[in-house]
Amino acid sequence: MVKIAKISKKRVGEIQSPASLTENRNKRLRRIMLLVFFLFFALVIRIAYIEFVKGEEYTASMTAQLSTSRTISTKRGKIYDTTGKALVLSAKVDTVTINPTLICVKNSDAAVAEAKTKELKEKVAKAFSDIFELDYEETLAKVNSTKSLETIARKQEKEKIDALKAWMEEEEYSTGINIDEDEKRYYPYGSLASSLLGFCGSDNQGLYGLEQKWDSILTGTPGRIITQTDSKQEFIPDKNEKYIEAENGCNLTLTIDANIQSICEKYLKQAVIDNDCEDGGTVIIMNPQTGDILAMVSYPDYNLNEPFVASDNLKSQYTNWDGLTEAEQTNAIQSTWKNRTISESYQPGSTFKIITAAIALEEEIAVTDEVAYNCIGYDMESGIRIGCWKAASHGYQTLRQALMNSCNPAFMQIGRKIGGETFYKYYDAFGLLAKTGIDTAGEEKGLFHNLSNLGPVELATMSFGQGITVTPLQLVTAVSAVANDGVLMQPRLVRQIENADTGIVTTIEPEEVRSVVSKETSEKMLDMLTSVVNDGTGTYGQVQGYSIAGKTGTSEPQGNDDAYVASFIGIAPSENPELVILVTLYNPKGKSHMGGQIAGPVFAQIASEVLPYLEIPTDSEAAQVTSVTETTSLPDVRNKTVSEAKQILEDAGFICSTSGSSDQIVTSQVPTQGTPLEKSAIIKLYTAESTATVSQSVPDLKGMTLAQAKNALKSKNLNISYTGTGKVISQDIPNGTSVEEGTVIHVNLQEATSELH
């Protein structure tokens, strides 16, 4: 009993008092409150971190998730010819795409859903293949694709899109089929200027020619609409919606004249067919005064609306087109895309003699009508015999005659006098050693020997246009400088750029590059080249009613004895030139491969239509406009030194010829002082030490135009005066009469009543 009592006391002592319980409860509350406080404090810190540290980042992320951006497409710019005719347009079309996974049938029975979905996809694929003329199996594969998007048909015209819409309405089905507005490049004239214009790819990006070169200008800048959407991708009204307006592509106006381009294409095609030119041909027309390209033609051509389809013109170049492999046909089609006038170089042959002759005159290494060259049918260089095209030889010749005869040995002799360093100085000045920088894609440059490796044989052959290559554009640009008082112009294809949105027009002005040779050299060259057409190898280049200067060319590429290149470059009119036309025919297999015989007539055909079209007056019309030619009274320069006399006469616009030294005194002059003469008349000066006169036989001028008569007399250092217009009906000094150089021959001209202009 005692023991039990003790135990009970102890348990009673362990029982806590009410105060103790309260204290314990308060401790627990304090701990809980402290924990809540720390949690609350941590939450505040977190909120502050999110708001002030990560706020912008999370806002941007949320905005990005809720925002949608739609592109506003631009309209690609148009391309016009110089007359305002639209050569390239853009038409509104549609592109059909599908979301394959959305083309399905839902059903609680999986097997039924699968069977009906298969049936639906086959029906959709059949509709697509029938309407858009597609391969059924390939189309079905796209419809069965697991991709999120497949393109069925790009850039489809309204007729086919309407047929698709009608099918969808009839079948009461549209899910997964998208019809989006698109743009298609359209070329209303088909193959006209095809190699120049180029074409666009499936995404309207320029791939060749002007379309590629000016792609960024023609494309413009797409716009955008940025707005908010909810989780269902429905638009949320938002006053902060952003609208960035699209800038449409600019329109281009070219220097090309579609009518002139068409004329050139017509005659070039006929020449290629008639002369069986296996590698086609090219034509370029440039205005030498501005550098404007009026026509730029490569043949065979292609249809710009179907660039991947072989044209009939291309197929005609092959004896067995269908026998070619697919790769060979593809390569042939792609070759027509190139603009060969700028992308392929060739050996220019004798047309290049224009450059050599101009250098020789400018460097005073040669004179126009001094017998200085001897052709025996060939010339020797470093033990190598280099022949003339005429094996029987041309004999002794002047520079004029060497050009008229297209004599290789004569130009080899001239080339030796010029020398390599001087040649290359002028080649660089004429722009022959670099690209011209024309404003289209695909330009290349020709190939010349390294000056350090230039040997005697290379010097000899390049003097008459062999062993070097130039592009047709390089050559026509250089010859245009010779025709333009010696001033080289930058070739120009794009004349104006128009902002389609604002209408503001930017004009690209003609650009003068540099003066290469003097005006005097230019005039002498035009005079000699006129003789080439009147009486030399270029007679097939004559055009009724117009004076023409020109040069023939026949080159033979190294390593291929049969692949001749026949060419003719003509300048019209020869007085105040407005056109330089280069015709090039590659690998002719017809009756002749000579440039004068097969390229010269093409030039004449083109010029005979283009000159009247441009309203360039005939020689007789030009003479009628200035029925009284401005003349200058010839000053009296007797008793002056030769140098003083020459200065006076040249300042007055005359050309002097004398064998007296500069400090000798002039004792006589022909014509005599006071004679009224046109500028550029030839004046012969004599001194006591050079009394021997030079005589010339007066040519028969009857039936000639005024320009022809002038050139015939100039070639003999004789002068002209005239009355009337038309053709020469009489001359005051009979033909065959021997007269002193400088003598004035007076002619009477009269219009033929039956003559057509």
* DSSP string across 547-585: --EEEEEEE--TT-TT--EEEEEEEESSSS--EEEEEEE
Distance CA 212, CA 216 (A): 8
pLDDT digits over 390-428, tens only? 878 889 999 999 999 999 999 999 999 999 999 999 999
Amino acid at 621: E
pLDDT digits over 253-309, tens only? 999 999 999 999 999 999 999 999 999 999 999 999 999 999 999 999 999 999 999
Cis amide linkage into residue 671, ω under 30° from 0: yes
Which residue is listed with tokens 């049969």?
562
Higher pLDDT, 491 or 735: 491
111: its two tokens: 């097997």
Look up residue 492 and give its DSSP letter.
B
Query: Do the beta carbons of residue 370 and residue 402 sit within 8 Å?
Result: no
Q: What is the pTM of this model?
A: 0.71
Amino acid at 457: V
Pick from 600, 606, 605, 576: nearest CA to 588: 600
Distance CA 381, CA 411 (A): 13
Distance CA 617, CA 757 (A): 9
pLDDT digits over 445-477, tens only? 999 999 998 999 999 999 999 999 999 999 999
Distance CA 97, CA 637 (A): 88
H helix or E strand, kind and range, residue 294 = strand 293-299
**Which residue intervals of 565-641 are DSSP H helices?**
595-598, 600-613, 619-625
Query: Do the beta carbons of residue 604 and residue 543 sit within 8 Å?
Result: yes
Helix (H, G, I), strand (E, B) or coil at 436: coil
Distance CA 490, CA 511 (A): 5
Pick from 530, 484, 474: nearest CA to 288: 484
Q: What integer is the mean pLDDT of 363-389?
A: 89
263: its two tokens: 């004329």
Q: What is the DSSP string of 499-562?
A: -TTT--EEE----EEEE-S-HHHHHHHHHHHHHHHHHSTTGGG-BTTB--EEEEEEE--TT-TT
- Looking at residue 562, what is its pLDDT? 60
Question: How many CB atoms are located within 10 Å of the residue 88 CB?
Answer: 26
pLDDT digits over 730-742, tens only? 888 888 888 888 8
Is the pLDDT reported for residue 630 higher than 80? no
Distance CA 655, CA 699 (A): 21
Counting Cα atoms < 13 Å in the Cβ hemisphere of 112 gives: 4
Query: Do the beta carbons of residue 572 and residue 607 sit within 8 Å?
Result: yes
Which residues, in sequence order, are CB contacts of 350 under 8 Å at separation 6+? 406, 408, 464, 465, 551, 552, 553, 554, 555, 595
Distance CA 151, CA 170 (A): 23
- Looking at residue 252, what is its pLDDT? 96
Helix (H, G, I), strand (E, B) or coil at 160: helix
- Looking at residue 3, what is its pLDDT? 47
571: its two tokens: 């300048």
Pick from 737, 716, 681, 742: nearest CA to 400: 716
* From 53-62, 116-125, 365-374, 667-676, the region with the lowest mean pLDDT: 53-62
Averaged pLDDT score across all residues of the chain: 86
Distance CA 145, CA 102 (A): 11
Q: Provide φ and ψ at 749, rounded to 5°.
A: -115, 150
Q: What radius of gyration, in Å, describes the C-alpha atoms of the chain?
A: 42
- Looking at residue 547, what is its pLDDT? 94
